Amino acid sequence: MSNTEDHKEKGVYELGYLILPSIPEENVSEVVTRLKTIVTSAGGLEIASEDPFKMDLAYTMSKVVGARKYVVKDAYIGWMKFEVEPEAVPSMQNEVKAVDEVLRFLLIKAPRETAFTFEGARKALEEAAAPKEAQTPESGATIEPSA
Amino acid sequence: MTKQSYLQENHIDYIDYKDVATLERYLTPHARIQGRKRSGISAAHQRSLATAVKRARFMGLLSYIVQ
């Protein structure tokens, strides 16, 4: 029956990841492309993503790679959202786990619409801070002539 | 009129674990999740809030504990 094909409905997933800070900034994009190939090779179709940037972690994390133990206080954080068949997700999870450069990752179901981005949050923060800064020089200027 | 929660006012249906600013509104000073009495959000939102906070903690966006 054609119904069997209908049952293979794709789901929207989000892969959030932390990349070890010991990797130089110019090589981070290589790790991201490797993660993207894991997604696309599993039949994933990218919907949205945000490139990683360096962020201070809320607590120290550690990861053992071979004989080395990395204890880190910061990491590059990024995410990508894609559409994929649910059957492909467990194997994708294993593949991401095998990437040495990835400190931690989170593969979850997500809504299709992207309401939040780090970039947008940063801008909102700047906008919230900017009016205050704009007001203080003005108020400073008004005080000067009176004085 | 009943008071609307922050989530309703801002039309947040899905609480994203990356949205630390929103999540922090619902944490106590010790970084525990506020109870429903204090948060005042719907039961469905409270459940998704708990999931989002736990995800954010795992990803190092929020701390597990503040002493």
Cβ-count burial of A117 within 10 angstroms (0-12 exposed, 13-18 middle, 19+ buried)?
middle
Q: Do A59 and B64 touch (CB under 8 A)?
A: yes
* Alpha-helical runs (H) found in A42-117: 89-97
pLDDT digits (tens, 9 = 90+) for A84-99: 999 999 999 999 999 9
Phi and psi angles of residue A117, each rounded to the nearest 5 degrees, phi first = -135, 150
Q: What percent of chain A has pLDDT over 70?
A: 84
* Residue A146 pLDDT exceeds 50: no
CB atoms A104 and B13 under 8 Å = no
Q: What is the pTM of this model?
A: 0.84
- So what's the ipTM on this one? 0.85
- Minimal C-alpha gap between B30 and chain A (Å): 13
Residues of A in contact with B59 (CB under 8 A): 16, 18, 77, 104, 106
Please name each of the domains of chain B with its CATH number: 6-58 (4.10.640.10)
Architecture of the structural domain at A8-114 = 2-Layer Sandwich (3.30)
**Minimal-distance CA residue of chain B relative to A74:** B60
Residue A97: which of A27, A15, A29, A40 has the closest Cα?
A15
Give which of B10, B18, B30 to mutate to test A binding, by max A Cβ within 10 Å: B18
- Tens-place pLDDT, residues B31-62: 999 999 999 999 999 999 999 999 999 999 99
3-state secondary structure of A73: strand
Cβ of B57 and A58 within 8 Å? yes
Structural contact between residues A110 and A89, judged by C-beta atoms closer than 8 angstroms: no
Q: Contact A106/B57, CB-based, under 8 Å?
A: no
Backbone torsion region of residue A109, taken as left when φ is above 0, otherwise alpha when ψ lies between -120 and 50, otherwise beta: beta
Read off the pLDDT band of B8 (50, 70, 90): confident
